[in-house]
Amino acid sequence: MLRMAVLVSGGGTNLQAIMDAIDSGKITNAEIVTVISNNAGAYALERARKYGVEALLLSPKDHPDREAFNLALRDALVEREIDLVVLAGYLVVVPPVVIREFENRIINIHPSLIPSFCGTGCYGLHVHEKALDRGVKVSGATVHFVDEGTDTGPIIMQKAVEVEQDDTPQTLQRRIMEQAEWVILPQVIDLIANDKVHVAGKKVTLG
Ligand code: GRF
């Protein structure tokens, strides 16, 4: 059984998609051990409680300095014997001490087709604003492994979504969530849980 920690900062619709996929059998051989958030007000924590898994608040604000927070995050994951860390709308930069401990065992969902509209400052609605400003006709979502760069890790899966002429950042964000994020994040977790994801450098093969 793959032991997962899901790290969240906001509403947690991707977390919900993972929980639903476990319940419906779309994800097998994996369980959520803990949901960790930096934000006490994150609705994602409420979703975790309702689902009956640990909802852990771990905020840089509650630690004397960043180093102390970074180590607390690593220790929380190590103590729970986590196999896979899933970043599902987690707005804290994951520190090198965690990335090194969990090499190729941390995945992130990003709401564009990387390498477009990603990198520092490209999160949330900004991603979709940039895509619309550039006038792209397709956007989408990417699930990738997390390395020490921002959105630079090996790409595991991508799904394209049509941009419509009258889209706003909000309508595009919603369509990408529904058609791509909530689909490919559970798919990738199921593949990892069943040992079907192989990494060699930047290249990922499935199956
Ligand atoms: C999603 O758009 C995800 O791609 C991004 O943050 C958002 C999180 O939404 N990284 P939610 O909290 O899962 O609803």
Q: How far is the CA of 163 from the centre of ligand 1 (A)?
A: 18
Task: Say how far apart CA 23 and CA 25 lie, in whole Å.
Answer: 6
The residue among 37, 31, 68, 71 whose CA lies nearest residue 52 is 31
Q: How far is the CA of 14 from the centre of ligand 1 (A)?
A: 6
DSSP 125: H
Q: Among the options 63, 110, 128, 198, which is catalytic?
A: 110
What average pLDDT does range 87-108 have in this prediction? Answer: 96
pLDDT for res 63? 95
pLDDT for res 187? 98
- DSSP lists the bridge partners of residue 56 as 36
Q: How far is the CA of 89 from the centre of ligand 1 (A)?
A: 4
101 pLDDT band, cuts 50/70/90, is very high
pLDDT in tens, 119-167: 999 999 999 999 999 999 999 999 999 999 999 999 999 999 999 999 9
Output helix, strand, coil percentages for the chain, rounded to the nearest 5. Answer: 40, 25, 35
Share the mean pLDDT of the chain.
97
Which H or E element spans position 74? Answer: helix 66-79
All structural domains of the chain: 2-197 (3.40.50.170)
Single pTM value for the model: 0.97
Instruction: Strands of 51-172 (E only): list them.
Output: 54-57, 84-87, 106-110, 138-145, 155-162
pLDDT for res 61? 94
pLDDT for res 68? 97
6 Cβ closer than 6 Å to some ligand 1 atom:
no
**Is residue 126 flagged as an active site residue?**
no
83 Cβ closer than 6 Å to some ligand 1 atom:
no
Atom 2 of ligand 1, residue of closest alpha carbon: 111
Task: Say how far apart CA 40 and CA 42 lie, in whole Å.
Answer: 6
pLDDT for res 54? 98
98 Cβ closer than 6 Å to some ligand 1 atom:
no
pLDDT in tens, 6-38: 999 999 999 999 999 999 999 999 999 999 999
Atom 14 of ligand 1, residue of closest alpha carbon: 13
